[in-house]
Structure 1
């Protein structure tokens, strides 16, 4: 079954519009009477039947609804945006397919980009939701200065992936069933001041392995490691 996104389904909004309408009606050529799936991004899985199609919307009727079970852990990655837009979009798409719960973009001293828009990244998250059928939409946060991010009341296990010798390996420090927050720096790594500040607010320095990874690769690896530890 092909799925579409309507975040207000639980509020009684039973129609697709804009991009979801275009995808359903114009691209996939769905017709009245066809069965479709609907995700609201909040953990509800709806089966529906198309009841009417106009020039701007596609109305559907719910035939079945199922509450999906949330994962017993929460995976949040805070990452420095790359200069190349395609690379950060790739990270968002793949990390969301893996079920990452939240992505924050942090402006660091060695950051390659100091401005970014999240609209396209949010669309990537919706696409990943439909592809993976996880039922839960990844939260995408706008760019924020790292020092401001670190001032937030962050709960759970907190890690900072850095390039230093003799650091504990990330997966060896992870605990299952926890909220995990992982900081991923830019290509030039975090500055000494940033590392010191993060450590002072409870972040633990860890290694992602012997290889020197690109920012987006490191972020994806961190997302996957948390899944593996939780046997997801």
Structure 2
């Protein structure tokens, strides 16, 4: 069934009008017509079953048939803080796949060895919302503006705190450091890794060093590995 992202919909709504972009997609691209059933998601766990009552390419009208809240809610909250890759395509790939597998919040962090310091959020939001719809999820991961590494450490986060890095030193396996249902924030560095000073700053801020295996992974692969490991742990 076709799914549309409608962040402004409310549980009390009996009818809803798609915006022009979604209306055009529904009528011109998908060729949906009056009487056909669709689903709407608000990105906050609300899933709405609806039927088209007016298939207009600029303002398609829908009648809401049923509402389900907290649809597909996971028992944990995962926050990935990742150094943006030099190639924005690789960051987009991570966002798409992480949304499909399961992630709740993403923060681009600017570290000492970062190859990219500026991130334009509009395109990335579109990638995330498209992945949410493709995977039929009702939750839209939160994407934060880029922030410097030290400022991120100084902010408030919930759950266990981990930093994945390639430097020598004692590390735990991430999958051995978590229990099902636990939330976490995980720091993923740039291709040049975090600097020794940044690793120490994170440790001083209460982060635990973890390893994701014996292979040296690209930034986006390491971040996706975190999403996969925690998703499997919570199966």
User: What TM-score does the superposition give when structure 1 sets the normalisation length?
Assistant: 0.95
Measure how far apart 1:53 and its partner are. 3.2
CA distance in 2 between counterparts of 1:148 and 1:22 reads: 42
User: 1-side partners of 2:99 and 2:21: how far apart?
Assistant: 19
The alignment covers a number of residue pairs equal to 231
Give the whole-Å Cα distance in 2 for the aligned partners of 1:30 and 1:118. 31
In structure 2, the residue matched to 1:152 is: 155
Question: Is residue 2:142 matched to residue 1:134?
Answer: no
The equivalent of 1:200 in structure 2 is: 204
2:105/2:142 contact within 8 Å kept: yes
CA distance in structure 2 between the partners assigned to 1:217 and 1:18 by the alignment = 36
Distance in 2 separating the partners of 1:168 and 1:114: 29
The verdict on how the C-alpha distance between 1:152 and 1:85 changes in structure 2, with shifts beyond 3 A counting, is same
> Deviation at 1:20?
2.1
Match of 2:218 in 1: 214
1:207, distance to aligned residue in structure 2 (A): 0.6
Whole-Å separation in 2 of the counterparts to 1:55 and 1:94: 31
Equivalent residue of 2:62, what SS?
A: strand
Q: TM-score, normalised by structure 2?
A: 0.94
Q: Shift of residue 55 of structure 1?
A: 4.2
Aligned to 2:6: 6
Post-superposition offset of 1:54: 3.1
Give the whole-Å Cα distance in 2 for the aligned partners of 1:28 and 1:62.
Answer: 20
> Which stretches in structure 2 are left out of the alignment for 5+ residues?
none
Query: Which of 27, 30, 33 lines up with 2:29 in the alignment?
Result: 27
Contact map agreement 2:23 2:56 (CA 8 A) in 1: no
